[in-house]
Structure 1
Amino acid sequence: MYKYLLLFAFVSVNAQIKPDISARVDTTDVNVNKVYHLYSDYISSRPDSVYANPYWNETELKRFTDNGFQPDMGVIMGTFNFEENSLYYFKPKILQIDKVEEGRYQIKTIFMNDSIDKDYAFYNPMAIHRLYAVEGINGAYKLENTMSYDTRNWKVYHYKFIKYVVHPDCVFNKKKAKKALAFCENTIKQFKIEVSGPITYYITPNSDALGRLFNYDYWLSYGTGRALKKFMELYTAFGNEDYDHEFVHLLFPDGKRPFIINEGIATWLGGPGYDETFEEALLKFSGDIKSNAALTVMDILENRYRNQYDNSPLYVTGAVICKLAYEKYGLDGLNKVLNCGETITDLQNVLAGLYGTSYENIDRIVMDYIRNYKP
């Protein structure tokens, strides 16, 4: 979904961005007025940038900026980047500033374009975003993400190094939790991984509930699962305890590798998503391209071949690259692929050196394996 945003003709601006307000926002109320001005100042303060933003809760701010993030989970995880030009195009309108409890208000904002071209009208609105404003001991308000407050009463379960935080609408499945722990322990042992810390796993029942963890009451490019490696956090919208694909993202150490390999290792070991194994996805992709002898890895990488609603061909192709490297050259070969460098050229050069042949030959090996796959 994100690629379509590049089609919009954003206009560069350096002016103060003043959000509109709905009739529900009573700025004659002293505290509502404070929160309104706090949010207005925040929106104009480069909210997409990593720095000591003066409008944000200091504790949250430090945790995020120390790890290279700006503090809003909606920007990290969501559909909208909060760049100045984006805010000019999808103008913010504050729908609500409501008191939640003493000293805490929620701010709900819609981002939309009233004059958007009809060809792009289905991208409107882009998001409905929600934050908290919390009063400090000096009477000043600062912004916070919704996650800590909204999950404060969720049930917590511990399985060795995995801490599950479970939405009230989900029933925790102990068998699946044990299965997930076994998957992690086996993966760690097989690939000699040194895990960087304990995992916190948030379970939600659907993408709307997941979005609310990320400050969204509505998000256009919604998600169903995510791993945040810097914080060793995993999020699911399937109500499941065993999201193996996302576990792999957390277990394997960071390395310089292109997207196809980052998703490839997670797909090979954990499937392309929650409800499909690698073998199932590979069999389907094999059937789709069996008679397409001209298809290459580069065609998939450059989106000349893709599914309409998912990246399964790319994920599966990356998985086959990882699988073959491991089967032919062991853990050392796999690690070379996982640390090949960030560009496709880096990957091609590492594969050519590993196999001792031209990249064109390797491309054929990978695509022939997919076409001829039999379970």
Structure 2
Amino acid sequence: MLQIAEIRENKEAFAKALQKRNMDALPLLESAIAVDENRRNLQAQLDETLSKSNKLSKEIGELFKSGKAAQANELKAQTIDLKESSKQLGEQLNAVVEELQTILYTIPNIPQDSVPAGNSDEDNEVVSQHGEIPVLHEGAKPHWELVKDYDIIDFELGNKITGAGFPVYKNKGARLQRALINYFLDKNTAAGYDEMQVPLLVNEASGYGTGQLPDKEGQMYHVGIDDLYLIPTAEVPITNLYRGSLLEMKDFPVAMTGYTPCFRREAGSYGSDVRGLNRLHQFDKVEILRIEHPDQSDAALDAMVVHVKGILEELELPYRILRLCGGDLGFTSTLTYDFEVYSTAQEKWLEVSSVSNFKTFQANRLKLRYRTGDKGTELAHTLNGSSLALPRILASILENFQVHNAIHIPKVLIPYCGFDAID
């Protein structure tokens, strides 16, 4: 969430920057400023009324002590009027504060200067491409056919138990899934990320804290009777561990990782892009998160990108890195790099990771601050990235490592899964 003070100071610059998101934000920014002006006026009136009331109360006390009860009682009538005015002003102020908060919740983060303009994922900028795309044997198959041949993932059985988008992993498929999770966590903890195991359900405050609410409310599974949400990513519960925290300089950087199942309704997703493991309602993901001093967050983002690159190179998967354009940038992000691996059998790139810097946007919602050297406080910066999302990694391994009558396992995973091939 943007800070209203920054909006007042940078209205025109923010409006211009938000044009990269293909939105005319100026009316929204001006509305926020106008509502905040009303809030400030009401606050000033309330403060003045409370000050008068307090002053009169002291005078009344002194008059009673001096035996001037008649004069004191005359003033008491005035305090009754002031208390009623204070009550009304307080109610108006609360309503205006809520109105301002609602407006601020609808304004996305400001894209960094390096974010390219564009309307959709077709306008994302390819930063670099790595690895050789393998040449497969004649008759190579996409993963949704391979998993049937080797009986390692059952989509129909998942559909029977729950519905479409909830696969059942079986035999070596389940073991390979577990191997990937353990490998990702080991790589992350070795790089200095503290492992966290967190709840899979979060309350509304947590959803608002990281920006999934109200922006992604329709994409989250809601447990209405308890007013809880199934998490769409480990980013939500792990980042909220620090909601309302005041950090010291010595606490930086905070680096965390965690594995969780993730749940997304993916409403409106249809077509070939959702076949097999390409898009699921429940999937596994390992996440990395950082809380940084503002001076270090850009360097931290670069380090996170390098970290994810190292994992993909060890998995021997061809990949590319994209800088997302304004039209494809997430609501809370100021800069995002996407990683895509190439699926040779499907002949297309599949997104497997997003690494983002949110700067103060989440921290403002979370009230996550740090103490500065002059005993003041400032908002921290938050970052997160997938390290990694499993479904499309698994799909790419199955497709790119297939040979006649077998699927080889990347060398780095063999110690984790205990076999070198699925046959």
* Category of TM-score, reference length = shorter chain: under 0.3
Which has the larger share of helix? 2
Q: Highest Rg: 1 or 2?
A: 2
TM-score (norm 1): 0.27
- From the two aligned structures, give the one with the greater strand fraction: 2
Normalised by the size of structure 2, how large is the TM-score? 0.24
